[in-house]
Amino acid sequence: MIGFTLLGTDGAARRGRLATAHGTIETPAFMPVGTAATVKAMRPEEVAATGAEIVLGNTYHLMLRPGAERIAALGGLHRFMNWPRAILTDSGGYQVMSLSALRQIDESGVTFRSHLDGTRMALSPERSIEIQRLLGADIAMAFDECTPFPATEDEARRSMELSMRWAARSQAAFVDRAGAGLFGIVQGSVYPDLRRESAAALAALGFDGYAVGGLAVGEGQAAMFAVLDKTVPALPADRPHYLMGVGKPADIVGAVLRGIDMFDCVLPTRSGRTAQAFTRRGTVNLRNARHGEDPRPLDEACACAACAQYSRAYLHHLARASEILGSMLLTEHNLRYYGDLMRDLRGAIETRSLADFAAGFAALQAGGDVSPLES
């Protein structure tokens, strides 16, 4: 069992604290993605220095390589990857649908061929929960089908109802232990009635937290926010709310305004490896020629190594030369930006000034990042 304390609110936004076997997480919180037991281009202590108190590991990838039983024999995922803080593991359902070949789905679960070597494998709610237990996750996720987008309402209903049956089986398979919990996942595509029905089914089962899945899959921000407007009020207020796979800074701010407490996304780390940096004045592409002679820091308000010790011109050089240091510095910067954003959101909720913060955030992002060479 994990504990969640609601410390304050500002409108629908919530300031909370989540207690796990490996420490507390101040919410709203962003979870860096450590798909294969590593946050790419970062050492664990560097990840922690960005403000992260929890990371995400991936059931699908870790079951394929190096294997859940091997990780368990080596002391569990925390020891294996040298991360002493909390870990959430996703169920593997999304990756089975998006990466594996020749997959077949039925009531029992999914059979598929590994995207690595074609080996035929199976994943069921019970096996997904077993893998997450072997990994030693502080927060495990119920096994679900990520409904493809677009989907008709009938297709979305069939998918959602299957996920609800799998959620009940996931809960039955979960072995409760101190400081660990299981989250259910709301599905239903962009259909409000299905989302509310899914939320009610999960609430009746009683999970330690509730995730909203199946978004950020191409529906657009307006549709995503419309789904959240209908879904989040149907979730138990005394449990954490997690929006899976989101996202962009503006998406995070909008979702916090709607009552979301937790986020994960590959965007800050993937962008760091492709020379994209998030700043308080918008996104910067360090490959652009206009940065080649720019002596300014990337973001003058940021205390990360990339901003404190290097110029945009140098970061541009690293990006154009495909130097590994460029990926390392920009990944650290992006995760620090996300950590700072979450800290500022928490502070704004505490002082009940979130509306002003959100307006200021939007104004800065709209203003863009202008080089002296263009002014």
Residues classed as catalytic: 90, 264
Q: How many CA atoms lie within 13 A of 324 on its CB side?
A: 3
> Which ranges of the chain does DSSP label H, i.e. alpha helix?
44-49, 59-64, 68-73, 77-81, 93-99, 125-135, 153-173, 192-205, 221-231, 249-257, 267-272, 305-309, 312-320, 324-350, 354-367
Strand partners, 3: 19
Most distant pair of Cα atoms in the chain: their distance = 62
Alpha carbon distance 128, 21 (integer Å): 21
Strand partners, 209: 183
DSSP, collapsed to helix, strand or coil, labels residue 206 as coil
At a CB cut-off of 8 Å and minimum separation 6, what does 183 contact?
139, 140, 141, 142, 207, 208, 209, 210, 211, 240, 242
Q: What share of the chain is helix, strand, coil (3-state, %, to 5)?
A: 45, 20, 35
Q: Which two tokens mark 2? A: 């994990």
Query: One-letter amino acid identity for 63?
Result: M
Q: Which two tokens stand for residue 226?
A: 């419309």
Cβ atoms of 154 and 189 closer than 8 Å: no
Spatial contact of 304 and 333, defined as CB atoms under 8 Å apart: yes
- Residues forming a β-bridge with 16: 6, 27
User: Which three-class secondary structure state does DSSP give residue 200?
Assistant: helix
Closest residue by Cα to residue 254 from 361, 366, 340: 361
Angle between helices 324-350 and 354-367 (to 10 degrees): 150
